[in-house]
Chains A and B, each alone.
Chain A
Amino acid sequence: MASFDPKRRDLLKLGAVTGGALAMGELWPEMADAAEATSAAASAATPTTAQGSAAPTPIDVLLRVNGSEHRLALDPRTTLLDALREELNLTGSKKGCGLGQCGACTVLIDGKRVKSCLLLAALVDGREITTIEGLAQGSNLHPLQAAFIERDAFQCGYCTPGQIMAGVACISEGHAGSAPEIREWMSGNVCRCGAYDNIVAAIQDAGRAGGSLKGG
């Protein structure tokens, strides 16, 4: 795994608070859940510290991302999301919940949308991965990226890479017809700013323009 750095230390401190948060969980289960998720995220990123036990033997994994090949020796616990962000510095894919519920980590594998936080990197050895960084062609944005800007389909932007990757797949699958259809087929992506109306409009625009994966 990548070397220890001060940001990790902060994460671990957060994780260490979990013990206190558990008592709070009696009254506020969802807060305990959040603290637990933070702790899990921290331990996943820094295996040698949080559990107090040695890191297991690294395994060799070949990641093909946006047309480039990367041979990595990874802690077997590494998720695809952590490998992208921590090893390859592709930080466009976001870690929201780390449990497959929010969709901020959505990437494409062999052209199909997946949640990269729920996949161990070892399980996608050799498969073709496309992240938000691989969508534009040079300085030409993908039609759905352009549509998100045109339609102002975000506020804070944290969910946007996942929304766009899921939206690209939604269009190429043929599920971007009516607004209700888009809402159903985009239900794996949460936007806490509530930009849903504009997200649906952007996907409709790009869908009508034929915005497939190679459309940029």
Chain B
Amino acid sequence: MHPFTFERPRDLAAALALRAQAGHNLAPAEYIAGGTDMVQLLQENVRRPERLVSLAGLLDNRIEAGPKGLRIGAAATLTDVAAHPAMKGEFPVIGESLLASASPQIRNVATMAGNLMQRPRCPYFRDVGYEVCNRRSPGTGCSAAGGVNRWHAVLGTGDCIAAHASDVAVALVALDASVELQGLGGRRTVLLDDFYRLPGDTPHIASVLEPGELITAITIPASAAARRSHYLKVRDRASFEFALVSAAVGLDLDGQRIRELRVALGGVGTKPWRVPKVEKALAGATLDPDVLRRAAALAAEGAQGFGHNDFKIELMQRVIVRAIETAGARA
């Protein structure tokens, strides 16, 4: 681990000031909250900050449910959110996505904002023995594109093909969640779908966060689609594994007819991947399997495999269909 000084700022303003001195990615200062991802990155020398700025005790960890929706403080743990009563009735897809994430020990420590900010799980990104990695060292190339890429993205790829690894981000994007951001310049609210950037030719800049800015809360509007929602995660082992393909669906039904559908995918995109074409194609449709299959095929438009991950293009269509059928069968 690279040597760093550990900063325990008195309040959030002091933390923002410390971190704002740093640039976008190769930063001399980094935040740490739960640390379940950051400590791995430090141990592997992927991140080598000069200063580590602790957010312990500085961020809201409350979970507030009201008629308009849910507000989750940035420092709420995955365990606490998954156990909140609102997951049972109003937001099942969020609770399911969290319980399918990591392991109980990690969920007890990992924070919601930290989960949204986690770095790619690409083994080449995580191993500094590989010098070629656009995400870690801009301009060097991508080891995964011509390497072992079973876990990588088929949609939204650019100079980096790492899939976004968060489960709950997929559920949140499906439900039109927003993140509240705070920086030295003030506060703003951004739709989570707009928060993540596609890699393009600047994959080292993963989000719209300005230097020093951080997530202070997540807000999720209540909706009929959120109440009848489901998270389906397909992976190489039954538990404690990242998604090969996952789908978060929300369904508002009028009898057997779809009034409104939300679908977002995990494991296939370089960011949580909303599929509006599938949603529009199924508005007003019934839950007929053939209709669902034809609509799900629209999700694969523009998908590009890199060899080992070609199977994801077919798999994601089947995952969409099964997730909608499961949500539709719910009372």
Using a CB–CB cutoff of 8 Å, the interface residues on chain A facing chain B are 22, 25, 29, 32-33, 36-37, 40-41, 43-44, 47, 51, 53-57, 59, 76-77, 79, 98-100, 103, 106, 109, 112-115, 117-120, 122-123, 166, 169-170, 173, 175, 183-185, 187-189
Contact = CB atoms under 8 A, between A and B. Distances in A.
A142 B6 CA distance: 37
B133 to A, nearest CB: 13
Given A29-B123, A29-B127, A56-B4, A123 B32 contact: yes
Given A25-B127, A44-B43, A100-B36, A115 B106 contact: yes
Contacts of A119: 35, 39, 109
Contacts, number: 117
B105 A36 contact: no
A22 B3 CA distance: 22
A36 to B, nearest CB: 6
B66 to A, nearest CB: 27
B54 interface: yes
Contacts of B123: 29, 33
Main SS of the interface on chain B? loop
Given A29-B123, A77-B3, A122-B6, A98 B105 contact: no
Given A47-B1, A112-B108, A76 B127 contact: no
A43 B123 CA distance: 21
Interface in B90-142: 102-106, 108-109, 123, 127-130
B63 interface: no
A183 B239 contact: yes
B3 A53 contact: yes
A43 B32 contact: no
Main SS of the interface on chain A? mixed
B35 A99 contact: no
A173 to B, nearest CB: 8
A142 B210 CA distance: 51
Contacts of B1: 40, 43-44, 47, 51, 77
B148 A120 contact: no
Contact of B106 (A25, A59, A188): A188
A40 B44 contact: yes
B36 A113 contact: no
A99 B240 contact: no
B105 A123 contact: no
Q: Which 7 A-B pairs have the closest CB atoms?
A: A188-B103, A76-B6, A187-B239, A22-B129, A187-B240, A40-B43, A56-B3
B14 interface: no
Contact of A33 (B102, B105, B127): B127
Contacts of B103: 103, 187-189
17 contacts: A22-B129, A25-B130, A29-B148, A33-B127, A40-B1, A44-B43, A47-B1, A76-B6, A76-B52, A77-B1, A113-B104, A118-B35, A118-B36, A122-B6, A123-B32, A173-B104, A188-B103
Nearest to B129: A22
A29 B102 CA distance: 22
